[in-house]
Amino acid sequence: MQALHTVSLLGTGLFWTAAYVLLIRTGLKERTFGMPLVAFATNLSWEFMFSFVRPPSGPMLVINIVWFCFDLVIGYTVVRFGRAEFPYLPDRLFLPALAAVLLLAYPGMNLASEQFDDGGGAITAFGSNVAMSAMFLGMLAARRGLRGQSLGIALTKLAGTGCASLTLLTDPDPVPGHGTALMHYFFVACLVLDTAYAVAVYTVRRHAGEAGRAAASPAPRAGLPVHSLDG
């Protein structure tokens, strides 16, 4: 059980780090941001809190600091390209609105951690992950396409959260609250939503590829039946 716990912990760090790298790479390439804005704010708050305010012991501290640094780069893509994603919002209001979201996220995350998690990070991490997973689906629908998203992001996010769930389930020294029905609900909800997101991204990508191939194929010459062009 201890070996499985260690492997799943390392898998959490590996897969979520890969998801961050892909989010940053895709965002810079496509000149947008790939993480939903509110999810970015809560994620940044959680990782700041559990990197510098209430840091855990062991390898999770290193992982949290690495993730926080990646979040700062994602924050750059939000600031640099975010205005274009909110055309209905005057440009002068974008940065104040972003600052307001960030300022609201940290105390909310801190209070939730103290009230529901005794200052720990498990319930807040998985609760915000459920919300984030739903927001990724919402972003895919709102953008009506894969701008800033990819199947790689969807799959590494799914694998990273799955490993995190397994890490808590195999923890040889669980803290209070890890085995509650609420945590089990979070595990299942994350799995369902992340799987749905991966399937949705694959479906959108496949349909976009089919549409592109159809547009690139030559049209039949006027006056000739279609079968005559097939030999």
How far apart are alpha carbons 124 and 113 in whole angstroms? Answer: 6
Q: What is the pTM of this model?
A: 0.88
Domain that holds residue 94: 2-214
- Section 135-143 average pLDDT: 96
**Residue 64 within any structural domain of the chain:** yes
**Residue 222 within any structural domain of the chain:** no
- CA distances (Å), origin 218, targets 9, 215, 226: 52, 8, 12
**Residue 131 within any structural domain of the chain:** yes
Q: Please enumerate, as own/partner, the contacts of 86-94 that have beta carbons within 8 Å and a separation of 24 or more.
A: none
**Residue 224 within any structural domain of the chain:** no
| Position 231 pLDDT exceeds 50 | no
User: How confident is the model at residue 53, as a pLDDT?
Assistant: 95
**Residue 230 within any structural domain of the chain:** no
Q: What is the token pair recorded at 41?
A: 């704010």
Q: Which helix (H) or strand (E) holds 56?
A: none
User: How confident is the model at residue 191, as a pLDDT?
Assistant: 95
User: How confident is the model at residue 210, as a pLDDT?
Assistant: 73
Largest CA distance in the chain: 77
| Position 223 pLDDT exceeds 80 | no
**Residue 10 within any structural domain of the chain:** yes
> Tens digits of per-residue pLDDT, 171-215?
877 665 667 889 999 999 999 999 999 999 999 999 988 777 677
DSSP state of 112: H
**Residue 228 within any structural domain of the chain:** no
| Position 77 pLDDT exceeds 90 | yes
User: How confident is the model at residue 226, as a pLDDT?
Assistant: 45
- Section 92-121 average pLDDT: 94
User: How confident is the model at residue 169, as a pLDDT?
Assistant: 87
